[in-house]
Amino acid sequence: MIAPSRPGETMAITTTQLGKRYGTTGNSKAKWALRECTLDVPEGRICGLVGANGAGKTTLLKLLVGLARPSSGSVRVLGQPSDTPAFLRDVGYLAQEVPLYRRWTAADHLSLGANLNGVWDGEAARERLQSLDIPLDQRVGTMSGGQRAQVALALALGKRPRLLLLDEPVAALDPLARREFLASLGAAVAESEGGLTVILSSHLVSDLERICDYLVVLAESRNLLSGDLDGVLASHRLLTSARRDIGSIEHQHTVLRVEHTPRQTSVWVRLEGTLHDPSWQSEEMSLEDIVLAYLARRPVQAADAPAAIGGVR
């Protein structure tokens, strides 16, 4: 079993059967962008949100920050439902497009933060940008993508949020800018001493592996896996043996993928307890392999995913 959280932890985020459908109700073209998503993220964690494009990552983050309203289910953020504007004080959000006023300077954006937030740490935000050699009086439209992302991050952190939601902030950045961005983020988390929860969506698993300690996998608009990163790594195995039937494994554990060659059987599996059969050779899976195993599951299998989640949580 993957423990979803350590005992005694309070949750930064709790969603219950959360769903979002775009298009009018009753319209056959209406499409679920997210469905039956039930997950918890404990406070103080850095949570990676992984999934293919269109898996519902952006929708989930928008629901969490109140930019979209749920079609079904409910969300609690920092103990409050997200339809009350009061929770906004404690939440920082950075959208995928990194929206900034292109003709404004970085300093203008910090003034915006100071004027639109009750709590505002302008000094820290300025220091953050100065330490990165980002000129405060330069128009952001003339800055590099990496610098713009840093300005947006400084703006999101300036309100001293308890929850920071980042929607693919590094997707468009070059590798160096990406590393700098993640370093800034790591520094901010360290400074907060456990007072800041981060949810970071990305399809770059290697980035998440470096910084995250919690993982949520979304595919086909559903939540397939959520849990502590160490637990996730510990509970997934690639089992190999001479070609054989996998009935005994399927009975006890969750099989993600099976491959039979004439001589060998390979099973990618989530262990739901100890593995008793010593005839299987057991290998650890990398995080990338684990994520890929979930994302590559056939739609037929994806359909029974909610049941599998029940086993995880």
- For residue 118, state whether it binds another protein (rule: CB under 8 A): yes
Contact code string over 52-71 relative to another protein, x by CB under 8 A? ----------x--xxxxx--
- For residue 112, state whether it binds another protein (rule: CB under 8 A): yes
Q: Provide the minimum distance between the beta carbon of 89 and another protein in the complex, in angstroms, as a whole number.
A: 5
Among 23, 27, 81, 97, binds another protein (CB under 8 A): 97
Q: Provide the minimum distance between the beta carbon of 115 and another protein in the complex, in angstroms, as a whole number.
A: 4
- For residue 21, state whether it binds another protein (rule: CB under 8 A): no
- For residue 83, state whether it binds another protein (rule: CB under 8 A): no
Identify which range of 10-18, 82-90, 197-205, 304-312 contacts another protein by CB under 8 A. Answer: 82-90
Among 113, 146, 169, 231, binds another protein (CB under 8 A): 113
SS (H, E, C) the chain: CCCCCCCCCCEEEEEEEEEEEECCCCCCCCEEEEEEEEEEEECCCEEEEECCCCCCHHHHHHHHHCCCCCCEEEEEECCEECCCHHHHHHEEEECCCCCCCCCCEHHHHHHHHHHHCCCCCHHHHHHHHHHCCCCCCCEHHHCCHHHHHHHHHHHHHHCCCCEEEEECCCCCCCHHHHHHHHHHHHHHHHHHCCCCEEEEEECCHHHHHHHCCEEEEEECCEEEEEEEHHHHHHHEEEEEEECCCCHHHHHHCEEEEEEECCCEEEEEEECCCCCCCCCCEEEECCHHHHHHHHHCCCHHHHHCHHHHHHHHC
Among 16, 52, 54, 108, binds another protein (CB under 8 A): 108
**Among residue numbers 153 through 212, which ones bind another protein (CB under 8 A)?**
155, 159
Among 89, 203, 244, 313, binds another protein (CB under 8 A): 89
Measured from the CB atom, the residue of 108 and 209 that comes closer to another protein is 108
Measured from the CB atom, the residue of 25 and 279 that comes closer to another protein is 25
- For residue 143, state whether it binds another protein (rule: CB under 8 A): no
- For residue 41, state whether it binds another protein (rule: CB under 8 A): no
- For residue 136, state whether it binds another protein (rule: CB under 8 A): no
